[in-house]
Structure 1
Amino acid sequence: MSRMRAILDRINDVESTILKIEQAQSGTPTLATELSLRSLEGRRENLTAELSEITRTGLIDVCDYKIIPDSLHSYAISAVTAALHDFQDLVSIVFASLVSGPRRSAKISADVAQKTEFGFGFAYSGSLGVVLTIPNDRLIGGMESELDRAVSEVFALLRIRNSKAVNEAATRLGVPVVKKLHHWTKTHSQYGMSADIKWTREEEIRDRVVAQSREMELIYKLIEESDKRISDPIELTGELVAWSVPRRTFVLTFPDSPPISGHWSKTFNGQAQRKVPSRYRARLTKETLVRYGDGDIETWTLDELIDMVDTD
């Protein structure tokens, strides 16, 4: 790994020198400048070949993340770092979804974080390119590893073109994946940054996605238009602390969680007298409006209330 780091640092130095020479040019380059650039480009090719051999023997894959601006303005550091951070998070969350099922939370285990953590390789000129490295399993017959599948899924998310695909992704991979996709594509769009991302092994491009900033805009706006409702029946035991017959409302409190308030369901039997405060077992329906581009909205409906005194 130390040898790879040394080569990556040399490539980074070469790229920096090339960029400085190109930026210092004014008008037609001199013969000396052209010869210097050719020499540096040859050096870069040799180092890249060495890197390819090291990644082959070290079972390491490379992700080439190129950001292409829509204008000649400089890059906003906050936008570049946010985009790379979102990409890392998205690969990790999708990986966890493929391993253990659709995610209900964006939190990942230490094991998943370790298996999906990209290392910085080097940056290069020509728009803004960042080369990332990561260890990856080699399976018999060239089959895809779990990491390969996760990256392919992330690339596929950038090809979403309708609300149906948004909701299918949320069902298959989990709502946190779609929320992270929303933040990632919105950052690219609002800062006018297109992306050309390649997943390579040795010198082979195994997968690639190119997304224009306007395509990123389409995706994040589709996500914002694809909110959906989820209904979950839940049974809880708590203390009834507020009860209004005219308004058909209730409030339940619990020792270790926030209180719940809401309305009676249409079929709820409100004729029986209720003691306040008193302990009850409640059968409720939790309605969640999942807003992919914003915070979710929860509402509670009371379906049945059972006095715990009668059941003790």
Structure 2
Amino acid sequence: MSDYASVVERTRKAFASVARLEAEIARAPDDVGLQVNLAAMNKLARKSQQQLFALSETHHVEVCNYRLVPERAESYALPFVSQSLLSFQYLFTQIYDSFKNGPKPYATYGQEAFNESLMEFAYTYSGSLGVVLLAQSDKDFFSGNLDKSIEALFEVVDIDSRDTVRDIAKTLGNAVIKRLHDWSQANIRGGFAADVRFNRSDGRHLGEMIERRRLENIVSIIQATSDEKTAERQVTGMLVGGDIQSGSFHFVVPNGDDFRGKLAKEFSKDTEMTLGKSYRARIRETTKLTYATEKLERSVHLVALFDVPTIAGPNGPASPVF
């Protein structure tokens, strides 16, 4: 066993002993012997943890202290605890993947990015539910491959408006916003605040307590935010369906796109709509992505129709110009 693995194991056992002694003292609060043993074991656990942090710097391991704090009942239901930890890993990996492979529109990432950003369970500690997670990093002379992801994580959880949501979606991808929403929602359902702190292998400490009210605000902002894009273009094709009264249309481009939708408000009611006739159409397409659900809505509106110029054939009637 390597020196580092040995220290991890020693720290794990020390904190397990602390938890066991605390449970025994809860049953026998006046037992002086237990109190002395607990004080000694706490000292050993802290010393082992400091050794672990020191070795993490030389072995390029990022240490994450992840603590869940119930804000009402002292309850740690397994589905909520596991979902909190799992969605945190997904959020961190999605951020890492955006730096490695580019921003993603949907919540997915590469297997290599997952492997390189994977956090491993080290040990738990007392004080609410505290978990220490370890992530191996690769470092060059200047920085580690996880440095930017750790920094970005705390920028992401600082969102406080729809504009910041859109800014993060633009730089890191819609997928990161979806992962942040899911992680925040998991902690809300469990009734947790989340205390997340990284001891980076370069000696920097980053982290903060994210209270449940703030998590609720994150979810609320993301659910209220969407990305809407509108574009107009002109195409030539055939009107195969359309009705002024119902306000609908169906327009087909030969060997091309098929448009179905509604007539735009500015579409002239005086326009003659002859089914089967060729027209040049001005089409407006609007796409709306809701970040919280990744639901993409598309709407199509016919803005105007124009007659298509025709060319007379040498031996037949005129045909439209496409």
TM-score category (smaller protein): 0.7 to 0.9
Measured in 2, the distance between the counterparts of 1:95 and 1:283 equals 42
The equivalent of 1:188 in structure 2 is 187
**1:92 has 2:90 as partner:** no
TM-score, length of structure 2 as denominator length: 0.77
Unaligned runs of 5+ in 1: 254-258
Structure 1 residues 65 and 235: CA distance shift in structure 2, 3 A: farther
CA 272–127 in structure 1, closer or farther in 2 if over 3 Å, else same: same
Contact kept? 1:92, 1:113, Cα under 8 Å: yes
Residue aligning to 1:256: none
Pair 1:235–1:35, CA change in 2 (3 A): farther
- How far did 1:193 drift? 0.8
Unaligned runs of 5+ residues in structure 2 are 253-257, 309-318
Counterpart of 2:194, as a letter, is: A
**Could you tell me how far 1:102 is from its partner in structure 2?**
3.0
TM-score if structure 1 supplies the norm length? 0.80
TM-superposed deviation, 1:100: 4.2
Range that drifts further, 94-103 or 190-199: 94-103
Contact 1:288 1:299 (8 Å CA) reproduced: yes
Determine what percentage of the aligned residue pairs are the same residue: 23
Deviation at 1:214, TM superposition (A): 0.9
Deviations 1:82-138 (A, max 9, x none): 121221111222222234443212211122112211111112221111111112233
Q: 1:270 to 1:156 in 2, by over 3 A?
A: same
Letter in 2 for 1:154: L
Q: Secondary structure at the match of 2:127?
A: coil
Q: CA-atom RMSD, angstroms?
A: 3.7
Report the more deviating stretch, 121-130 or 41-50: 41-50
The answer (yes or no) to whether the contact 1:198–1:205 under 8 Å persists in 2 is no
State the SS of the aligned residue for 1:216. helix
The 5-angstrom pairing of residues 139-150 of structure 1 reads 139-141=140-142, 143=143, 145-150=144-149
In our comparison, the structure showing a higher alpha carbon Rg is 2
Letter in 2 for 1:230: K
Contact residue 65 and residue 132 of structure 2 kept, 8 A? yes
Counterpart CA distance in 1 for 2:119 and 2:30 is 38
Report deviation, 1:212.
0.8
Match of 1:121 in 2: 122
The match for 1:58 is 59
Q: Residues 235, 133 of structure 1: CA spacing in aligned structure 2 closer, same or farther, 3 A cutoff? A: farther
> Which amino acid in 2 is paired with 1:181?
L
State yes or no: 1:33 paired with 2:34. yes
Q: 1:243 maps to what in 2?
A: 241
